[in-house]
Structures are given as structure tokens and as C-alpha cells.
Amino acid sequence: MAFAWNSVVAKIKRRRRRWLAVGIVMVLILLALDLLFPLPQPGRDSPYAVVVLARDGSPLRAFPDGQHVWRHPVKIADVSPLYLEALVAYEDKWFWWHPGVNPLALMRAGWQWMVHGRVISGGSTITMQVARMLDPTPRTITGKLRQIARALQLEWHYSKQGILTLYLNYAPMGGVLEGVEAASRGYLYKPAKRLTHAEAALLAVLPQAPSLMRPDRYPARARTARDKVLRRLEAKWGLTIVADALTEPVYAQRIQEPLLAPLLAERLRKEAKGQLRIDSTIDPAAQAMLEGLLADRAGSLPPRVSLATLVMDNRSLEVVAYAGSADFADDQRFAHVDMVQASRSPGSTLKPFLYGFALDEGLIHSESLLSDVPQSFSGYQPGNFQQSFHGAVSVSEALVKSLNVPAVEVLERLDPVRFSGLLQSSGLTLNYPRGASPNLSIILGGVGTTLEDLVGAYSSFARKGLAGKPRFIPQQPIQERRVMSEGAAFIVRDILETGGPTAKAVNSAAGAQRGIAWKTGTSFGFRDAWAIGVSDHYTVGVWVGRPDGTPNPGFFGANVASPLLVDVFSILPENRTGKIRQPPSEVTQALICWPLGTRLIDETAPLCASQRTAWVLGGVAPPTFSDRLRSGSARYTYYLNKENGKRVSPECARGPIVKIEAARWPAALEPWLEPGLRAKTLPPEWDETCDKLYRPEAGIKILGLTDGEKIRRPNTGTMPPVKLEVRGQPGKVYWMVNGQMIASGKGTMAQPIRFNQAGRYDITALDDQGRYDRISVSVIESQ
């Protein structure tokens, strides 16, 4: 017995070794086959589409693969559980248990084929369907065997979750759509995570015959197939739920490419470097309204004129709307040129920062006296946009009216290099022409910057002096930089919104009513029109122009950009509390005395020609800038004849005299003072007893033409210049024609004046002491 038992044991061991050897050989064969016939890699020949999403997950724009297939990456967790239940219950209820192939289902399918002579059910598992998606095979016996082999290979390499994820992403859904996420968004305009019971059943059955059951083309067929799935799920979902789902009609939107914020989507796709799903901060409702507004506005503009708008939330720095061109479908308007990123001349939009910096430097307060008159700054002679001058103006008036000469005057005191450095350190990139350096022209647009940078910088006026870099994706970190103090930001914003404490803003009612503070700008030659504004909630920037830089005569910020800016604010949800914005503790109001520019106190009250209510920062009320044309103290003394009120001096006076303490106006301003103010604040004419002694110094006189003279201009040929001279000033004299300085030189030299066309000519000669003479002549064309 012992011998027989040992023989049996030995035989079993030999067979076991044989089977082990066979098993090892089979494994080696399978490994060799796996190496020789590797699984096609998902995405190698059919990569995903890149999709850029709005903040609510809806698509802004999608970029298909090379075959124009729409395939959006999705994970199991991002798909509705209802869809997963419908898919597994209908397609492969043993999916989680079989090794990739269900032998019973295959035998059933084979028996039905032999009996009916046609395919009744395919017998394919979800794994086998994925195998056919990755490695398409013909619908033959050989093709089925190959599909089975690939299915087993898949189960070897992937987990069940991995195989299901492949199905969710590659299942054919009709037309150019592949994957449940693309189908859900393409047909239903919603993410796959929010599918209803009926929608889940519809998309679960669609891969069975995607071309024949497309819900956008064949809703009746799609409904029949969907209802079949729903009835199979009665045991799982319940009769009530299924009955309700069966009543839901099958309706699908026409498949169309999502196209919101197209230029931003293109920008984010390039910056994402291969990322397939890109989440953005865009609010789809605000974006759609903005694009509609711009397309409507573009219809009233000449061809090739484009528009760009950027809307940023001041609290989070998230960009909620982005339009880089007027209409992405209008190639005539340079639709694919993103003007949010383009460097352009900002015109006057940098002026608010200039006055904010000057406030922080203690150079000005909101009502500092400035001179809006023709001036030469080391050879640089700026003019105003409307080619007119206003004489004496305050900082508030200069900013609201966007006057150029006062801005240059302040910049000269601050220093252009410092101004440029402060702007760049606050995050606003400045692009100078090649070989150029910071100079006085920077404040009038002699530099380049972008709408994106301007919006970020302007947000400082609503964010207590802190500028923020616009954020386009939620993951982008918040980047803030200090631009100016909270007090300076408050004062500048208040001036732009209401005109400051004196409430003298031009057309400020619209801004004050909406709580909007804005500034316009126009670049040289009408090439760029700007409007940048802030509210408590948003910062909005608008640009209008031609991307190729061609001028648009008559287009400036106030008439084309600012109306659009107000309309953009009107479509945005603004959470206003109705409370009046309170100034920070370092900002107070004070009565200011002109022309000194200092606080009104008992000592200066007699010298006060005009009172102003000003915003003062840190309690500092700096005086008016020192006179550029006349040296000496801002205060001076003169004497009057007590009897007739005429000017005298102690040396020549006869009778009692009165000593007068006065404050000087800047010399360049004296010719521009109103007659009443001039009579009130300037010394009267000399008394006849002092006339011979002081008359030569009392003023200067233009010779060569008389006031009111009419000159006839020949209608042919060129009229020779008229040479004018002055008497009473051998030193330097400044010549102005119609408010523009044309020349300066010694008073002993004749000044030629040309009259190139008919009209009125106001000619002024002014010396360094502020003395002047002015005549007006009329030029008439000869008949």
C-alpha cells in the first residue's frame, strides 16, 4: 500500500510540475504577445479637445483635436451617479465582476445569431467596447476574437475604474462628439454631473447607434431607445421615478461650438501648456451681455474700428468679462487681435496717478492753484485737447477737465523719472519708444501701456491705494502692490466721481449717481480713445480705435469710450449699500486762499482773493508753486493815494498814503484773470504825480498794429508777416497768438507774426514780471 501511495503522490507532483511549466509558458507567451501587440495608448491618435470653462463650469470655448472631434476629459467623480447606474445596468451589469469578457453573454449572442441569422445582441462588455474604441476591429469572427483578446489585455493593465473612465471619455455619441461630457454639453448644454434620470438613460443608450439615435436629429428614435433603458431600471430607481422620466420629452440643442470670451480662451490655452481643462474666472452671463453690447455698438462705428473691454472684480481681482475685440466674427474689425494686451498710447489716463503721487509728496492739495495758460517747459509747449485755455484752475478742475498744461506743470515739479518709477513699481508697465527716456510728454500719452495694466492700476482708487493684477484663472495667486496712500486714492476718486468737495465736476452727475469715478483719454492723432472707471465693486476699462493705428478723426475718449463705459457698468450687478463713502482719518477739508494756496487764517484773510474748499492730506496745505516767470516772494507791498485810490510810492506821493499788503498771482496768470478779479487783486494805475517816474515800468506796449485793426489779406499769393515790437521791456518777452505761445526773445527785437488765413487774432506780449499788452486784430480776405 505504501508503495502504491508513493507512486500516486509522485505522479501528482509530476503533473503539477507539468501544469506549472505550461502555466509559465502561457504567461511568457502572453507577455510576449503583450509586448508584440501593445495596447494602443488612449489619446495618442485621438487626443482630447481643450476646453476653457467659465466660473460656473459652462464652456466658453473648446478647441477640437486634429480630426475636429469634441472630446472633453472627465473623471468618474465628475459624472452623475445616475448615468453610471444606467450605463452599467443596461450595457454590462456584471461589469464589476467579470475579467473583461462575459462568456454567458457571448454564448447568448452567438445562439441568437445562429437562430435569427442576424445580430440580436452583441454580447460585448463595457471592457470590450473600450477595446474596440482603442483598437477598431471589423465586425467578423476574427474581429470579435481580437476584441476579446484586447479586452483581457485591458483588464490586465487597468483597474475597473480606469476602464470605465476610458469609456466615459471615448464612447461615440454622434457626429463629432465623443464621451459623456462632450455629449452632455453639446446636446443638453450642461455638465454630465447634472444629468436627470431621463437624460442619464438617453446618453447611456446613445453609443449603441450614435448616428441613428442623435437626439438633435432623430428625437423619436432617441426617445424609444431611452424609454427601453428606463424600463429596465424600474427595479433600481422605482416605478414613480421612471414614470416621471418617461414623460420627459427628448429635446437636444443643435450642436454648435461654444464661443464666449474667445480671445481670452485662446490666451489661456496657450498659457496652459497642454492642459486639457482650463477653469476661468469669467461670469458667463456678464460676458454674454458684454459681447452683445460691443457687437451692437460696433455697428455704429466705421469699418475696421474695434473695441476692447475688461471688467475686474475689485474684491477678488477676478476678471468677470473680457472682450479683446468688437466682434469675433467680424474680420474687418481685426477680430483676432486682442487689444486687451496691446500696448497703446494711454492719452490722459495717467493723470489721476500724477495727482495722487503729488498729493502723497505734499506738493498739492485738491484745490491747489495751477496755471492753464500757454507755457514753455524747457522748450516743451503743451496745448489742451480743445486748443483753449482756462487761466487759473484748481487741481480738481484740471483733473476733471483733463487739462494738459496744469498736468505738465505738476509733473515738472514731481519729476518725470520719479513719476515713471512710481508707476512701474505699482505694476503698470510703460513701453517707451526706442531710445526714449521719461520726459514731460509721458503725462499726455508719450508712452505705451495696455488696457489690462490700466485696469489693474485703476483698481487702486477703489481698493484704498492698492492695485491688483487681474486674475483670469481661480488658481492664480492674488498680487497686490501699493500705488498711493489710502488718503490720496480717496481724494482722486472723489474728484473723478463728484468733482471733489466743491462739487464742480463737469458732467459728474452720471458718475455720482452710479458711484462711478472715471477718466477718459485720447492719444495723439485720435488713434486711441479710452475710458477707465471704478465703482465699489468693479473696475472697467474700455478702448476704442483701429488696431493698426490708423487715426480716427473726431474719436476721443469722452464721445466714444465713456458712453460705452457707463453702459458696461449698467449691465453689471452692483451691490451698493447706499452709504456715503467716508474719507479716511488722514483726509480732511480746509478752506484755502488763492492765490497763496495755503489755509485761510486770520493772517492771510486780507490777502485772499478767492476761497476754495479743499481735500487736504495729512493736514498739509502746501502753497502755490513758485512763480516760473518771476522771482521773489509770493507777497509784496504797494501804496495808494488815500484820496483817489491810485498807486503811488512814498517818494512821489503828495498827501496821505495807504500801505497795501498783497499776494502775487503767478505772472503767467495775470493776463488771464477776469476783469473784476484783476481790478480787485492787482495794483491800480499810477497816480499822475508818479506817472513820469514809474510809467515806463508800469507796463509794456505792442507797436506795429493797433487794437481792433482790420487787415486785408490778398486772395492770391502769400501774405508777408507783420513785424511787431514792444516798448517798456528790453528784457525777455513771450509772444502768444490765440492763446498759444509762438516765440520768446528780447524785447528790443521785432517779432514777425504770420496771418495764414482770415479770422480774429488775439496777440499777447508778456514779460517775466507778468506785465503784458494784448491787442486783437481781424484778418479779412480781399474781394
CA dihedral 317, 323, 325, 330 (to 10 degrees): 170
8 Å CB contact between 530 and 310 = no
Nearest C-alpha neighbor of 323 from the set 661, 564, 123, 587: 564
Which phi and psi angles does 762 have, rounded to 5°?
-100, 115
Q: What cell was used for 729?
A: 521791456
Q: What is the three-class DSSP state of 739?
A: coil
Separation CA 594–CA 663 (nearest Å): 9
Residues with catalytic function:
91, 348
8 Å CB contact between 629 and 655 = no
Separation CA 528–CA 430 (nearest Å): 16
Separation CA 711–CA 720 (nearest Å): 12
Nearest C-alpha neighbor of 147 from the set 726, 455, 155: 155
8 Å CB contact between 690 and 649 = yes
Q: How far is Cα of residue 169 from the mean position of the Cα atoms in its chain? A: 36
8 Å CB contact between 569 and 320 = no
Question: Edge to edge, what strands does the sheet with 59-63 contain?
Answer: 59-63, 50-53, 277-279
Residue 632: count other Cβ atoms within 10 Å of its Cβ. Answer: 10
Separation CA 742–CA 763 (nearest Å): 10
Residue 86: count other Cβ atoms within 10 Å of its Cβ. Answer: 28
| Residues in Cβ contact with 444 at an 8 Å cutoff, skipping those fewer than 6 apart | 347, 348, 382, 404, 407, 408, 524
C-alpha distances (whole Å) from 535 to each of 348, 457, 477, 538 are 20, 14, 23, 5
Q: What cell was used for 655?
A: 498827501
Separation CA 198–CA 187 (nearest Å): 14
Task: Report the first-to-last Cα separation within the chain, whole angstroms.
Answer: 151
**Angle (nearest 5°) at CA 7 between 6 and 11:** 115
Separation CA 261–CA 255 (nearest Å): 19
Separation CA 260–CA 262 (nearest Å): 5
| Angle, in degrees to the nearest 10, between helices 81-91 and 219-232 | 80
Separation CA 780–CA 777 (nearest Å): 10
